């Protein structure tokens, strides 16, 4: 069964999703253990896959036994394997978190909720693993449809956001599909690697159609990943969705789309094409700079905790897009490493927001007042995530920022470097504001703070199923930071084939 691992990564959550519907009709309590089981299988298979990739290089799995380009293949290299493991791990963690929260937030639809949760994970994993451009679209839609539903299950503002997301998301996905069509009309192939071969072999890189295909795919993916100025759908969606939803979607969706962008830029189109021939690096990096600044400064202006975090996602997407378009090894290593690190950092802070909401029933940042005394473990978890977002060693965020800044300096994009530093500061301000509330309680200016804290201050740490995911994520953030070398070595092994050290990439 070991050589089936790549398929199991995906099939485990997928089949569980179907089973959950069936079992959930009769035994609602059995849903949660099933979900855990399915996702654990997925994580185990992902670990197995990554071990195989590290050991033996690229792994190929032909769906239906048809070799590409006739059939659909999974071609798993270091990048896929890493992202897949990340996705399945995060899914597992947020599933654990959802145990107590789903009955509270969507009590009448527990099995439906879990099914959607597993399906969105299936879609994301499928996007990560597949080597077929069209198949990616199908799985993109699987994850998109589930996201709409998961978000729409929140408050009534979430429904509005979900509709907006559905419209914008469909535009993005359709652009992507159109781009694939434009590639198909020129190459006649759908397999990503085969498309690349044809593009190179027939020197199609000069064709207008390929250029338009590139623009369409890039813009489509940017819409889906909420890259400024295409981010309008994101903040409200993640703010008003059920907390379990935002813990799952917030960290994953945008990052997986960043993965898709990297895959498209490097594997389908050639780095020589995307970076040298088009030479849009400057423009895109400047757009990323604006994204970073707008994201982090808008985050400063928010009073709603999750909305603030949502804007941070916008900034983080700017980091990654900018990092990729720096077009050098350090930048790409930084972007990919940040992709992985950021998934866990974001999960960490979203879990915290979820806990705060669960405990206080409030969405505002001020809801954190006095939490240091009441929930020290929770605050410790947040502290790790926050330090990582700010970029304090030895958390993961520091190392990604290190590589990104290194890349920015190496390619002379000083604006990007400055933007990174400013956004670090903005995040520092943001999180220390939270720490202050947590440390001091209500604003001292209001005077009667102590009574206030005393009134509703009877709660303590959340239950284990809510707290454990946070602790787990926090320790993962630390571990990813500490063992950054092994992750980075996988990434650099992946990047070697593109020969980015070539002087033409600056």
Partner 1 sequence: MELLKAIVGGMNYWIFIILMMIGLYAMITKNNLVKKLIGMSIFQTSILLFFISLAVKEGATIPILHHDQAHAKQGDHGEGGKHSDPSHKGKEAASAIEEGKEKPSVSHAGSSKIDPDRFTNPLPHVLMLTAIVVGVSTLGVALSITQKLYTEFGTIEENEILDQLKSGDD
Partner 2 sequence: MTPPAIISITPVLASLVSLLAVIPIILLGRRSNLREGTSFVAGIVKFGLIASMLPTIMAGSTIEYTLWEIIPNLAIAFRVDALGMIFGLVASSLWIITTLYSIGYMRGLKEHAQTRFFSYFAVSLAATVGVAFAANLFTLFLFYEMLSLATYPLVTHHQDKEARSGGRTYLTYLLTASILFVLPSLIYIFIKTGGGLDFVAGGFLEGRIGGTEALVLLLLLTFGFAKAGIMPLHSWLPAAMVAPTPVSALLHAVAVVKVGVFCILRVYSGVFGIEFLSDLNLGVIVTWIAAFTVVVSSLIALTQDNLKRRLAFSTIGQLSYIVLGMALLTPKGVTGSMMHIAMHAWGKITLFFCAGAIFQATGKKYISEMVGIGKRMPVTMAAFFIGSLSVIGIPLAGGFWSKIYLLWGTVEDGQYAMLAVLLISSLLNAAYFFPIAFRAFFCKPEDSLFEAKVEEAHPCAVVALSLTAVVTMFLFIYPEPFFALADAAAQHLMNL
Partner 3 sequence: MKALGFIAVLGTGLLLLAASRDFPNWGDPDSPASSYRLSRHFITETINETAVPNMVTAVLADYRGYDTLFEAVVIFTAGIAVIGILRRYGSRNSIPSARETPLTPKKPDLIVESTVRLLIPIIQIFALYVIAHGHHSPGGGFQGGVIFGASFILLALARDLKAAQNWVAEKRTLILACCGILIYAGIGVLCQFLGDNFLDYQILHRILPTDPVMARYHSILVVEIGVAFTVTAIMFSIYSNLSSNGKMKEGI
191 is a contact residue toward partner 2 (CB under 8 A): no
DSSP 71: S
Q: Give, as one character, the DSSP assignment of residue 365.
A: G
State yes or no: residue 229 binds partner 3 (CB under 8 A): no
Task: Kindly write down the DSSP assignment for every residue of 225-253, as one continuous string.
Answer: HT-TTS-TTHHHHHHHS-HHHHHHHHHHH
- Minimum CB distance to partner 1, residue 63 (Å): 14
Nearest to 218 by CA among 182, 165, 167: 182
Report the site for partner 3 in 162-201 (rule: CB under 8 A). Answer: 162, 178, 182, 184-190, 198
Q: What burial letters (b/e) apply to 228-239, b meaning 16+ CB within 10 Å?
A: bebbebbbbbbb
Beta bridge partners of 82: none
Q: Which of 148, 176, 228, 311: binder of partner 3 (CB under 8 A)? A: 148
If one asks whether residue 67 binds partner 1 (CB under 8 A), the answer comes out as yes
Size of the site for partner 3 (CB under 8 A): 64
Q: Which is nearer to partner 2, 69 or 78 (CB)?
A: 78
440 binding partner (options partner 2, partner 1, partner 3, none; Cβ < 5 to 8 Å by kind): partner 2
Name the token pair of 92.
């597992």
- Residue 170 binds which of partner 1, partner 3, partner 2, none (CB < 5-8 A, kind-dependent): partner 1
For tokens 């604003």, what's the residue?
A: 443
Does position 181 interact with partner 2 (CB under 8 A)? The reply is: no
Q: Which does 387 bind (CB under 5 to 8 A by kind): partner 2, partner 3, partner 1, none?
A: partner 2
Residue 393 makes contact with partner 2 by CB under 8 A:
yes
**Residue 488 within binding range of partner 2, rule CB under 8 A:** yes
- For residue 405, state whether it binds partner 2 (rule: CB under 8 A): yes
Of 30, 61, 63, 163, which one interacts with partner 1 (CB under 8 A)? 163
Site for partner 1 in 122-141 (CB under 8 A): 134, 137-138, 141
152 binds partner 1 (CB under 8 A): yes
Q: Report CA 92 to chain centroid distance, whole Å.
A: 14
Residue ranges of E strands in 33-108: 59-62, 73-76
Which residues are CB-neighbours of 314 under 8 A, at least 6 positions away?
226, 228, 231, 234, 235, 291, 294, 295, 298
Task: Look at residue 304 and give its three-state secondary structure.
Answer: strand
Partner from partner 2, partner 3, partner 1, none binding residue 166, C-beta < 5-8 Å depending on class: partner 1
Return the DSSP state at 67: P
Contact 117, 77 (CB under 8 A): no
Give dist(CA 503, CA 458) in Å, integer: 63
Nearest of 468, 431, 427, 247 to residue 346 by alpha carbon: 247
Q: Which of 200, 211, 232, 471 binds partner 3 (CB under 8 A)?
A: 211
Coil, helix or strand at residue 75: strand
| Residue 177 interacting with partner 1 (CB under 8 A) | yes
Q: Does 160 bind partner 1 (CB under 8 A)?
A: yes
User: Could you tell which of partner 1, partner 2, partner 3, none binds residue 409, using a CB distance below 5 to 8 A set by kind?
Assistant: partner 2
156 binds partner 1 (CB under 8 A): yes
Establish if 135 lies at the interface with partner 3 (CB under 8 A): yes
C-alpha dihedral, 341 to 158 to 122 to 260, nearest 10°: -50
Is 146 near partner 3 (CB under 8 A)? yes
Peptide bond into 69 cis (omega under 30): yes
Find the part of the chain contacting partner 1 (CB under 8 A) among 65-73, 368-376, 379-387, 422-430. Answer: 65-73
Least Cβ distance, residue 281 to partner 1 (angstroms): 28
Residue with token string 């597993």: 118
Q: Please answer whether residues 316 and 63 qualify as being in contact, where contact means their C-beta atoms are separated by less than 8 angstroms.
A: no
Residue ranges that bind partner 2, judged by CB under 8 A = 387, 391-394, 399, 402, 405-406, 409-410, 417, 421-422, 424-425, 428-429, 432, 436, 439-441, 444-445, 482, 484-485, 488
Residue ranges that bind partner 1, judged by CB under 8 A = 65-67, 70, 134, 137-138, 141, 144-145, 148-149, 152, 155-157, 159-160, 162-163, 166-167, 170-171, 174, 177-178, 181, 184-185, 190
């Amino acid at each position: 069964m070991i050589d089936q691992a790549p398929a199991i990564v995906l099939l485990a959550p997928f089949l569980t999703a179907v089973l959950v519907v069936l079992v959930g009709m009769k035994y609602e309590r059995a849903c949660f253990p099933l979900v855990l089981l399915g996702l654990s299988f997925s994580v185990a298979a992902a670990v197995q896959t990554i071990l195989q990739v590290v050991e033996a290089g690229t792994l190929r799995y032909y769906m239906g036994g048809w070799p590409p380009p006739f059939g659909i293949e999974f071609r798993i290299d270091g990048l896929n394997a890493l992202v897949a493991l990340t996705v399945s791990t995060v899914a597992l963690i947020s599933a654990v978190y959802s145990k107590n929260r789903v009955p509270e937030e969507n009590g009448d639809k527990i099995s439906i909720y879990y099914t959607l949760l597993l399906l969105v994970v299936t879609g994301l994993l499928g996007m990560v693993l597949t080597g077929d451009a069209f198949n990616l679209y199908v799985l993109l839609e699987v994850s998109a449809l589930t996201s709409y539903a998961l978000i729409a299950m929140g408050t009534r503002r979430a429904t509005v956001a979900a509709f907006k997301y559905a419209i914008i998301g469909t535009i993005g996905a359709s652009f992507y599909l159109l781009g694939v069509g434009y590639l198909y009309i020129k190459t006649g192939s759908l397999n990503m690697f085969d498309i690349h071969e044809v593009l190179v072999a027939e020197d199609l890189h000069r064709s207008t159609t390929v250029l338009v295909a590139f623009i369409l795919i890039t813009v489509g993916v940017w819409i889906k990943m909420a890259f400024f100025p295409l981010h309008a759908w994101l903040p409200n969606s993640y703010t008003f969705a059920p907390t379990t939803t935002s813990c799952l979607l917030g960290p994953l969706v945008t990052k997986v789309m960043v993965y898709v962008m990297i895959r498209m830029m490097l594997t389908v189109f050639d780095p020589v094409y995307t970076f040298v021939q088009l030479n849009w690096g400057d423009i895109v990096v400047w757009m990323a700079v604006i994204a970073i600044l707008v994201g982090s400064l808008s985050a400063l202006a928010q009073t709603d905790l999750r909305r603030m975090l949502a804007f941070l996602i916008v900034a983080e997407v700017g980091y990654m897009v900018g990092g990729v378009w720096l077009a050098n090894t350090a930048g790409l290593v930084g972007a990919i490493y940040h992709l992985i690190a950021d998934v866990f950092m974001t999960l960490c802070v979203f879990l915290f927001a979820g806990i705060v909401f669960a405990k206080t029933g409030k969405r505002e940042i001020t809801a954190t007042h006095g939490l240091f005394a009441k929930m020290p473990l929770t605050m410790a978890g947040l502290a790790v995530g926050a330090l990582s977002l700010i970029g304090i060693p030895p958390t993961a965020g520091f190392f990604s920022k290190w590589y990104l800044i290194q890349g920015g300096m190496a390619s002379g994009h000083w604006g990007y470097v400055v933007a990174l530093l400013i956004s670090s500061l903005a995040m520092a301000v943001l999180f220390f504001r939270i720490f202050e509330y947590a440390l001091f309680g209500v604003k001292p200016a209001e005077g009667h703070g102590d009574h206030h804290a005393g009134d509703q201050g009877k709660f303590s740490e959340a239950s284990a199923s809510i707290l454990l995911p946070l602790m787990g994520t926090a320790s993962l953030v630390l571990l990813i930071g500490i063992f950054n070398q092994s992750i980075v070595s996988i990434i650099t092994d992946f990047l070697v084939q593109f020969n980015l050290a070539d002087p033409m990439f600056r």
